[in-house]
Amino acid sequence: MKKILITGGAGFIGSHVVRLFVNKYPEKDIYNLDKLTYCGNLENLSDVERAHNYHFLKADIADATHILSLFEEYRFDGVIHLAAESHVDRSIVNPMEFIRTNIIGTVNLLSAARHIWQDDFSGKRFYHISTDEVYGSLGEVGAFSESTPYAPHSPYSASKASSDHFARVFHDTYHLPVVISNCSNNYGPNQFPEKLIPLFINNIKHNKPLPVYGQGVNVRDWLYVEDHADAIDTIFHRGKNGDTYNIGGNNEWKNIDLIHQLIRIMDRKLGREDGQSLKLVTFVTDRAGHDLRYAIDASKLRDELGWSPKIKFIEGFEKTVDWYLQNGAWLEHVTSGAYQEYYTKMYANR
Ligand code: NAD
Ligand code: DAU
């Protein structure tokens, strides 16, 4: 594959995938296609933007005509599709944008790939990136495997579930060389500070309340974003057409325990007294349809493709906090303007 299209490359995970591919595969042309929504930020890629093999295409994946014309012009050999509306809370307020981008946008990309590849699929690949949230919620025990039935509980996860079904259908019906992965919660540099970890880092830094939904008992499995990018590289090159791979960190945390750990690290790094920022913890109204627990059984990826996470949680967590503290300008740029209005509205009545 000479020309690789990465959608959503200006976002959190996409920017790490673009960086990995641009640096690791200098002989390939890497095309980053992104609409640059509120969380798409080309600053995330400033270190690779001048690389000879990096190209940026500004486009909306929901615009079928534009997407088809780009596929016809550039004739990509491989697609790694990450572009999405990705925040559960926003999906509860405005589901339609999630249907537009996550479902219609995905079908547009699948259709455009099918059109230009004209049923000659040798050496081609369409990789659809998805989430563990499509599987719904777990009780105290167990883990999601690739055969767990889909049971989404938010407009976000319902839209991702729908896009997964379409990706699978394009493989089963048209034999498009599709591969899918479903990953757990990512953390690391460049995540938009509406998500738990960067939001709480920013709030602790500014001595603002930390809005913990419900009792903080929900459990998430956290994976360092560079590990996810590495898994994507593995699956893109060695995954089996028509297959799904679960990706996880084997690293479950109850929200409140994770928050206490974050407070300890932040207080130390900010030179505050140990536990000083605990007083910022504020229990607020729970998220509607809040999934209790996610956990991933990633044994298929380990056994078939030999992949497992490399970065230990405490190392990744410290690196993450350091990155946000050292990149205050990045945080200020992305939290000004429209984001301020969103923040005020989202947390006003909680
Ligand atoms: P993000 O919100 O940080 O980035 C999404 C990117 O998509 C942004 O650059 C945005 O500008 C772009 N985009 C949005 N709508 C678009 C459109 N209509 N056309 C073109 N570009 C558009 O998201 P993320 O957290 O990096 O997630 C990336 C992908 O990984 C998503 O598909 C998400 O469902 C999936 N995922 C995320 C996580 C996680 O923990 N963040 C975990 C598992 C899977
Ligand atoms: O599991 C993968 C998913 O992880 C991805 O598909 C999503 O794109 C990504 O946003 C993430 O979804 P979550 O809803 O798990 O992430 P979020 O950071 O929004 O919330 C993590 C947990 O923290 C969740 O239980 C809700 C809680 N939370 C979140 C926020 C923003 C709070 O208690 N307070 C908050 O202010």
Our CA angle for 214, 98, 175, nearest 5°, is 120
pLDDT band at 346 (very low <50, low <70, confident <90, very high): confident
pLDDT higher than threshold 80 for residue 262: yes
What pLDDT sits at residue 345?
Answer: 81
Q: Is the dihedral of CA 108, 37, 55, 189 positive or negative?
A: negative
Report the atom number in ligand 1 closest to the C-alpha of 37. 11
Sort strands 219-224 and 3-7 into parallel, antiparallel or unpaired: unpaired
Q: What is the pLDDT of residues 141-171, one digit of tens each?
A: 999 999 999 999 999 999 999 999 999 999 9
Mean pLDDT of all residues in 311-317 = 97
Q: Which amino acid is at 75?
A: R
The rounded distance, in Å, linking the Cα atoms of 197 and 188 is 9
Mean pLDDT of all residues in 226-232 = 98
Break the chain into its structural domains and give their ranges: 3-185+224-251+291-312
Q: What is the pLDDT of residues 165-211, one digit of tens each?
A: 999 999 999 999 999 999 999 999 999 999 999 999 999 999 999 99
Buried b (16+ CB within 10 A) or exposed e, 77-95: bbbbbbbbbbbbbbbbeeb
- In this structure, the chain runs to a length of 350
Task: Point out the catalytic residue in the list 29, 34, 133, 164.
Answer: 133
pLDDT higher than threshold 70 for residue 339: no
Q: What is the pTM of this model?
A: 0.97
pLDDT higher than threshold 80 for residue 4: yes
Mean pLDDT of all residues in 100-121 = 96
What pLDDT sits at residue 338?
Answer: 73
| Among candidate residues 325, 312, 216, the one with its CA nearest the CA of residue 267 | 325
Sort strands 54-58 and 29-34 into parallel, antiparallel or unpaired: parallel
What pLDDT sits at residue 318?
Answer: 97
The rounded distance, in Å, linking the Cα atoms of 130 and 180 is 7
CA of 195 relative to ligand 2 center, distance in Å: 6
The question of whether 213 is a catalytic residue gets the answer no
Spell out the residues 6+ positions from residue 265 whose beta carbon is closer than 8 angstroms to its own. 317, 318, 321
CATH class of 3-185+224-251+291-312: alpha beta
- Mean of pLDDT over the chain: 96
| Among candidate residues 153, 176, 155, the one with its CA nearest the CA of residue 166 | 176
pLDDT band at 348 (very low <50, low <70, confident <90, very high): confident
The closest residue, in CA terms, to atom 36 on ligand 1 is 131
Our CA angle for 286, 187, 196, nearest 5°, is 20
CA of 119 relative to ligand 1 center, distance in Å: 28
The closest residue, in CA terms, to atom 17 on ligand 1 is 60
Mean pLDDT of all residues in 43-60 = 95
CA of 196 relative to ligand 2 center, distance in Å: 6
The closest residue, in CA terms, to atom 41 on ligand 1 is 186
